Structure 1
Amino acid sequence: MSQSDATTPSGAFDSLLLKPALLDTLKSIGFHQMTPIQAQSLPAILNGGDVIGQGKTGSGKTAAFGLGLLNKLNVKRFRIQSLVLCPTRELADQVAAELRTLARGIHNIKILTLCGGVPMGPQIGSLEHGAHIIVGTPGRIIDHLDRGRLDLDNVDTLVLDEADRMLEMGFQRELDAIMQEVPRERQTLLFSATFPEQIQSLSEQFMIDPLMVKVEAHHDGETIEQHFYECGNNNDRMRALQLLLLKHQPESAVVFCNTKRETKDVAAKLTNAGFSVVALHGDLEQRDRDQMLLKFANKSASVMVATDVAARGLDIDALDMVVNYHMAYDTEVHIHRIGRTGRAGSKGAAHTLFNHEDGYKLSLLADALGREIDGEALPGEALLDTMPPQPRMVTIQIDGGKKQKVRPGDILGCLTGENGIEGSEVGKIKITDFRSYVAVDRKVLRKALNKIVKGKLKGKSYRAWELR
């Protein structure tokens, strides 16, 4: 395995041998300079080589493999030529959306997502019409393969995105089975935030002399402030968490726990204490997971309590604060967790709770950070007598979606029309097949609901209610 040092400066996209349509699209969306992971991996990817890319979420890896597979795609050959495997439906949707954006200048290209948690019927229909690129989750890909609906004989590029998480989630058997269904003569691209032994084993088994590209997962202390607090038992830990949330009053905070059980317990206790909380763990039904993510993304829930596995690959922007309720098992995971705050030039804060059993993990983290770690004083106990602030936004669920031809502009027009609310009081709008969701300022909730249910949305009456 050869090694590439990703500390060299990133270059311009037009220095690469990319199709003119791709270069034009990159310019139109404002992509001029490559990120380090793109600069180090794209020349090898475009040359047809196998590549392992290690970098945190937001490093630009999707564009790296996306440009590679789009550049060699033959649109006139209507066969599945690329397969991208992702651990979760959310990540698959994000990847497919980015690929579609990059492919805007390529006519008649078909990118299809095949994920669990959604009905099989529409996917079967789409597959019958064929596709160039499949983005999917391992379990659902296997479902279609087992039923003879998916032909991977023409795949020349296989991408494993967030490979470490797929292994954490127990997809080793599915990955092995899928590898047997794609041609041996292919390009394999593997991207991973961490690099455990299983990834090493996977790469040795299925890749040919891969180039290893590693973008160091360090974070500027000026962007992310790190604080550490020593806690005794679990009661002390919960009290510390509440004090930190009450003191800083973040609009969006993620609290990381190490197990599903802890996640449920912490979320329940915070809810009982009056905080606006969603919990993200592996036991959730897909619909519940989607709704919790929606509430958090549109700022109608302030705190997300999650395991590392559940939170990986989520596209969470403008995160004010991360709390490590328990220390991560290793330093790389800690760095990955806190990298979710302080993004895109904004300030962020990471607060880590530890006890006497965490000595070894603390010393490893101290070495990585190049500083001593000492416990700080927690905010004053008097804060526990105050009520947590409620999120500024609330989410309205509307009983109509794409199938009823509801569009975001229809909802915005309905809410801001005659005697309506201000445009500044409307937040994110999301439309699914049969439901729509819109965030509105909490103080205008009643008015917004009345506008929708009284027949002002496309001249029709739709049921609508607050999503709790």
Structure 2
Amino acid sequence: MQVTTVNSAFSSLPLSAAMLANLDALGYAEMTPIQAQSLPVILKGLDLIAQAKTGSGKTAAFGIGLLSPLNPRFFGCQALVLCPTRELADQVAKELRRLARAADNVKILTLCGGVPFGPQIGSLEHGAHVIVGTPGRIQEHLKKGTLKLDGLNTLVLDEADRMLDMGFYDSIAEIINQTPAKRQTLLFSATYPAGIKQLSATFMRDPQQVKVEALHDDAQIEQRFYEIAPEQRMDAVLKLLASYRPESCVAFCFTKQQCQELVDHLGAHGISAAALNGDLEQRDRDQVLAMFANRSLSVLVATDVAARGLDIDALDMVINVELARDAEIHIHRVGRTGRAGAKGLAMSLVAPAEGHRAQAIETLQKSPLNWHPLSSLKAKSGEPLQPPMVTLCIGAGRKEKLRPGDILGALTGEAGLPGAKIGKIALFDYQAFVAVERDVAKQALKRLNDGKIKGRSLKVRLL
């Protein structure tokens, strides 16, 4: 019996020698399933709808695709990638820059809201080949005439379902109407709601469809389901945390109100938690995400819309405080843990009224759910659940030419703190966050407030 397999070597694709050498240097050994299925279609210039989640390698799929036909000598926008949030746009641009190292002088620019408009106009005047941005800000540049899309070859809609969740349908339609009719359109989405069908029917030419199996390897992620009475929900989350003591956990809620209730409930029991919802100002969102990524916040409580596009490595546990209304969203939530070879735990609380949702998940996973009684959770003794790190917020950022090395130097220089006690440093335009181990937090704060960073006294506070 002959088994046909998709060739997973990048060398099987019509790519330049320079691109293949760069992929090799970047450690791209072989194509992920989404790359193997979508790249042959993309490189033929066809329109594509790909159903794939974050972490599947989709950025490299459309990245290699849009860089291939690029003409570095023409300094106009030849490829546009629309993303739902600034974090995702930054991530995508970073990956594209790595992929573009093979070509001469390809300029990649991000255009997102939440940052000043003026400098973006200056950057656009110098010309850019690839633009990655959020729909609102791209629309503003088109209105002002600072961005022209008449030379566009490739349009990418990344996490299209999430852009629609956030109410961007009209903005996207307006942007597409200003692009040439003979462009290639690539649409990537984790789920396939009605809005996506409408988008593709209106704006795509005979799109090819690929879908990558999004189910998780049970060996990688252990799922457990607990039946609860609705009034037990908040305490059940406490029990799960006390029993498993994860260092980092995302708890999914349905509404902003439910998020806030849970944060208050956890806080009252000495557990550091913060809510991430769609209403947060960009500055506050940056702060919450930086604290969670640097391990100075134990529990991130989020709604589905707010959490999409989060790229968090080493997430120990996901808690579904309430089951998702859609089984595919459940799979998506659960897939945030157990990444990069580590084992993950996904715990779901199910009230009797949500029984049909549990049934839908069982049907989609084609295997019985793993039910446990709530009484089986036994609290482990020890300190209350506290994150290992604490975050210091510094009142200056990139715009003041601050670099991670400056912060590190101020903390470790001349008999300062040992480098091993300092964690992640995150820089934003007007503020910076540095994580330090809990036992040296006071010392670090004193050191930064008494000393100077880059020759200046800056305001530093403990978050």
TM-score bracket relative to the smaller structure:
over 0.9
8 Å CA contact 1:10, 1:33 repeated in 2: no
8 Å CA contact 2:338, 2:345 repeated in 1: yes
Partner of 2:175: 178
SS in 1 for 2:435: strand
What is the CA-CA distance between 1:379 and the residue it aligns to? 5.1
Partner of 1:250: 246
Change over 3 Å in CA distance of 1:177–1:404 after alignment to 2: closer
Q: Does residue 1:308 correspond to 2:304, yes or no?
A: yes
What is the identity, as a one-letter code, of the residue corresponding to 1:178?
I
Partner of 1:118: 115
Aligned length: 460
Q: Does residue 1:108 correspond to 2:105, yes or no?
A: yes
What is the CA-CA distance between 1:449 and the residue it aligns to? 2.0
What is the identity, as a one-letter code, of the residue corresponding to 1:278?
A
Partner of 1:44: 41
What is the identity, as a one-letter code, of the residue corresponding to 1:282?
G
Q: Does residue 1:280 correspond to 2:280, yes or no?
A: no
8 Å CA contact 2:410, 2:451 repeated in 1: no
Q: Does residue 1:390 correspond to 2:383, yes or no?
A: no
What is the CA-CA distance between 1:53 and the residue it aligns to? 0.9
Write out per-residue CA displacement over residues 393-434 of structure 1, whole angstroms, 9 at most, x where no aligned residue: 011112333343332222223322222222211111122333
Q: Pick from 71, 89, 112 the counterpart of residue 86 of structure 2.
A: 89
What is the identity, as a one-letter code, of the residue corresponding to 1:13?
F
Q: Pick from 275, 291, 294 the counterpart of residue 295 of structure 1.
A: 291
Q: Pick from 9, 14, 21 the counterpart of residue 18 of structure 2.
A: 21
Q: Pick from 309, 321, 324 the counterpart of residue 325 of structure 1.
A: 321
8 Å CA contact 2:243, 2:380 repeated in 1: no
Q: Does residue 1:53 correspond to 2:50, yes or no?
A: yes
Task: Name the CA distance, whole Å, in 2 between partners of 1:20 and 1:458.
Answer: 44
Q: Does residue 1:236 correspond to 2:232, yes or no?
A: yes
Write out per-residue CA displacement over residues 353-401 of structure 1, whole angstroms, 9 at most, x where no aligned residue: 1111112211121122233336412256884998632111011112333
Partner of 1:419: 415
Change over 3 Å in CA distance of 1:378–1:144 after alignment to 2: same
Identity of aligned residues (%): 57
Unaligned runs of 5+ in 2: none
Change over 3 Å in CA distance of 1:237–1:10 after alignment to 2: farther
Moved more, 356-365 or 174-183: 356-365
What is the identity, as a one-letter code, of the residue corresponding to 2:424?
K
What is the identity, as a one-letter code, of the residue corresponding to 2:133?
G
What is the CA-CA distance between 1:114 and the residue it aligns to? 1.0
TM-score (norm 1): 0.94
What is the CA-CA distance between 1:8 and the residue it aligns to? 4.5
8 Å CA contact 1:92, 1:136 repeated in 2: yes
8 Å CA contact 1:297, 1:316 repeated in 2: yes
What is the CA-CA distance between 1:140 and the residue it aligns to? 1.1
What is the CA-CA distance between 1:95 and the residue it aligns to? 0.5
Partner of 1:133: 130
What is the identity, as a one-letter code, of the residue corresponding to 2:349?
L
SS in 2 for 1:72: coil
SS in 1 for 2:93: helix
Partner of 2:255: 259
What is the identity, as a one-letter code, of the residue corresponding to 1:306?
A
Change over 3 Å in CA distance of 1:10–1:230 after alignment to 2: farther
What is the CA-CA distance between 1:207 and the residue it aligns to? 1.0
Task: Name the CA distance, whole Å, in 1 between partners of 2:95 and 2:227.
Answer: 42
1:68-83 alignment to 2 at 5 Å?
68-83=65-80
Task: Name the CA distance, whole Å, in 1 between partners of 2:11 and 2:355.
Answer: 49
Moved more, 254-263 or 304-313: 254-263
Change over 3 Å in CA distance of 1:300–1:68 after alignment to 2: same
Write out per-residue CA displacement over residues 224-243 of structure 1, whole angstroms, 9 at most, x where no aligned residue: 1110111112x301110000
1:194-205 alignment to 2 at 5 Å?
194-205=191-202
Task: Name the CA distance, whole Å, in 2 between partners of 1:167 and 1:77.
Answer: 32
SS in 2 for 1:77: coil
Partner of 1:443: 439
Task: Name the CA distance, whole Å, in 2 between partners of 1:61 and 1:49.
Answer: 16
Moved more, 18-27 or 323-332: 18-27
Change over 3 Å in CA distance of 1:123–1:185 after alignment to 2: same
